[in-house]
Amino acid sequence: MEDRRNIQLRLLSFVVIAYMLMAFTWWSVLLFTKNRDAFYAKRDLIRIGLIAQGVVRTDEAFFETEIYQTLQRQYRNQEWMILGEASVFVLSLVMGIWFINRGYHKELVAGQTRRNFLLSITHELKSPLASIRLVLETVLKRDLDRPQLEKLGNNALKETDRLTHLVDDLLLSAKLETAYQPYREKVNLPELLLDTIHKLQDKYPHAVFQYAIQGEIPAWYGDKLGFTSIVLNLLENSVKYSSEKPAIAVRLAFQERPAGFNLAVADEGAGIPDREKRKVFQKFYRIGHENTRKTKGTGLGLYIVDQIVRAHNGRIKVEDNHPRGTVFSLFLPES
């Protein structure tokens, strides 16, 4: 219903624009005609007066007079003025149409993004809540032994962690838009990176994480929680969009000029089309349609990564992995 109304409004705007162009064209032609008629009337009046005074005897002599030349120059200047005003009006109208269409397109994209987010967040909330409810109902209705209780309890804890991670992402994304300031402290990046990889290995036992720490890595002065969030989101994103047995390669290195740290996360998944490579860092943006998408998520992970990297004056880019997959490469200044 909303899409139909948007289409109707857009068609109405095109009709109004077409009417304005037609009306302007008609008024321009009319103005040129009136200007020409006024020139001819003045020319004939002056010519008759000069002939009556005996100043000129033929039309050829009249056309060579200074007064006719001045009148003709004024007529040409008026024509150019009309043409210039018409050009400015048309240019302004075209620019206005472009701005309107751009704003309309942004509104459509924002509306679609909001709908996708509501669909994804609803699914992300309902799934763990349903699992936790099922665990509680099972515990209350059945007499279970200790191993069974531990198994159900661990499942409930995993779903609770999933909810906690979702809420943390929502709060962090809101903070990034308003008052996020990195809390800089001395951080051992290799140790933090390996610790995060080991935690994810326990969470995703079917995934294979390969990591390489190249050379001597000095201490980094930055937001420890922010860097942890960067690694978690990049690795989980790579796992989600990879095959049934994800193979994720992580590389950390330090460079001298400019002084800073390079982190690369490569997967062998489906990859990201070129037209989507910058869009994936937008808030709530996810490739594909929410009704047919199989992977879980809210579209916040890469947005959070990008914002934290920017807050540290760093940069991030996404490239194709060969022969298939994606590589996220980021650079963080030394301090």
Structure pTM?
Answer: 0.62
Residues 172 and 229 grouped into a single domain: no
Inter-residue contact 284 to 298 (CB < 8 Å): yes
Checking if the pLDDT of 290 tops 60, the result is: no
Q: If you average pLDDT over residues 134-151, what whole number do you get?
A: 83
Residues 192 and 328 grouped into a single domain: yes
Residues 167 and 270 grouped into a single domain: no
* Residue 168 Cα to chain centre, angstroms: 23
Give me the amino acid identity at 82: I
β-strands 247-255, 208-214: how paired?
A: parallel
**Pairwise CA distance, residues 65 & 317, whole Å:** 72
- Digit-coded pLDDT (tens) for 99-132: 877 777 777 776 776 776 666 777 777 888 888 8
Residues 207 and 157 grouped into a single domain: no
Instruction: Give me the pLDDT at residue 261, please.
Output: 92
- Digit-coded pLDDT (tens) for 47-72: 888 888 878 878 888 888 888 888 88
Instruction: Give me the pLDDT at residue 291, please.
Output: 43
**Pairwise CA distance, residues 245 & 83, whole Å:** 68
**Which secondary-structure segment (H or E) carries 319?**
strand 315-320
Residues 191 and 66 grouped into a single domain: no
**Pairwise CA distance, residues 22 & 17, whole Å:** 9
Counting the structural domains of the chain, the total is 3
Residues 173 and 217 grouped into a single domain: no
Checking if the pLDDT of 264 tops 80, the result is: yes
Write down the residue that tokens 């198994």 correspond to.
Answer: 151
Inter-residue contact 190 to 306 (CB < 8 Å): no
Lowest mean pLDDT across 110-114, 228-232, 234-238, 305-309: 110-114
Residues 276 and 324 grouped into a single domain: yes
Domain region containing 12: 2-114
CATH number at residue 173: 1.10.287
Residues 166 and 196 grouped into a single domain: no
